[in-house]
């Protein structure tokens, strides 16, 4: 008798492998991701939960997006860094595919945006949200949107263009500087 696996044993191993979750990667978005980001953001924008975006807007700012992608390349979460000045930016367009809610993917893309902000020497981030817990869990502090006249001006422009602005709570985070380890 040889120790070759039977077809049934091989099938069992294959089905077990297929049942394992796909590897996920948090990474900077690339131009090819723009359509998938739009698919993630549009349903939330349609509900008034975030500002609408066009494919051209996303594509032209693709370097500001972080995504979570499955092994096959499918984008299942995203967030963007909207710079207002060399020291101030907003965490925006945080979206997670409904089938992947509750898995920490929103937190992962926001932390990715924070890394991107640090790499660009941005000192302060703010975010607008309808819920408190998400940004509070990431060490953001409640603040008032009036601290950010740049955002208020953008809201004013969008409102005049017919975009409904849903009032949201404002959160802010001062980013600590990365310090390089000292060699001993």
The pLDDT tens digits of the residues spanning 83-134 come to 999 999 999 999 999 999 999 999 999 999 999 999 999 999 999 998 889 9
1 in a structural domain: no
Q: Specify which residues 142 forms β-bridges with.
A: 171
pTM value > 0.85: no
34 in a structural domain: yes
Question: Residue with structure tokens 């602005």?
Answer: 165
Number of domains forming the structure of the chain: 1
16 in a structural domain: no
pLDDT tier at 10 (50, 70, 90 boundaries)?
A: very low
184 in a structural domain: no
55 in a structural domain: yes
pLDDT tier at 166 (50, 70, 90 boundaries)?
A: confident
Question: Residue with structure tokens 């000292």?
Answer: 182
Q: List the domain range (segments joined by +) for residue 112.
A: 23-174
The CATH number covering residue 38 comes to 3.40.630.30
Q: Which carries the bigger pLDDT value, residue 46 or residue 4?
A: 46
Examine the pLDDT at 16 and tell me if it is beyond 80: no
Return the CA Rg of the chain.
20
Q: Which carries the bigger pLDDT value, residue 3 or residue 24?
A: 24
5 in a structural domain: no
Q: Cβ neighbours of residue 163 under 8 Å, at least 6 residues apart?
A: 51, 52
Alpha carbons 88 and 84: distance in angstroms, whole number:
6
Examine the pLDDT at 135 and tell me if it is beyond 50: yes
Q: What is the mean pLDDT of residues 24-43?
A: 96
The secondary structure of the chain, three-state, reads CCCCCCHHHHHHHHHHHHHCCCCEEEEECCHHHHHHHHHHHHHHHHCCCCCCCCHHHHHHCHHHEEEEEECCCCEEEEEEEEEEECCEEEEEEEEECHHHCCCCHHHHHHHHHHHHHHHCCCCEEEEEECCCHHHHHCCCEEECHHHCHHHHHHHHHHHHCCCCCCCCEEEEEECCCCCCCCCC
139 in a structural domain: yes
100 in a structural domain: yes
Examine the pLDDT at 141 and tell me if it is beyond 50: yes
């Amino acid at each position: 008798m040889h120790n070759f696996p039977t077809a049934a044993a091989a099938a069992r191993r294959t089905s077990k492998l297929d049942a394992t979750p796909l590897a996920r990667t948090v990474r900077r978005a690339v131009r090819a991701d723009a359509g998938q980001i739009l698919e993630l953001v549009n349903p939330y924008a349609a509900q008034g939960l975030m500002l609408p975006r066009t494919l051209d807007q996303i594509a032209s700012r693709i370097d500001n997006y972080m995504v979570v992608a499955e092994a096959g390349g499918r984008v299942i979460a995203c967030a963007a860094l909207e710079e207002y000045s060399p020291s101030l930016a907003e965490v925006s367009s945080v979206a997670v595919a409904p089938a992947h809610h509750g898995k920490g993917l929103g937190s992962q893309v926001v932390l990715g945006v924070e890394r991107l902000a640090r790499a660009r020497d941005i000192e302060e981030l703010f975010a607008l949200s309808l819920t408190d817990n998400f940004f509070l869990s990431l060490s953001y502090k409640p603040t008032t949107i009036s601290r950010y006249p740049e955002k208020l001006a953008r809201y004013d422009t969008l409102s005049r263009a017919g975009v409904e602005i849903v009032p949201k709570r404002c959160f802010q985070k001062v980013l600590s500087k990365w310090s390089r380890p000292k060699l001993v």
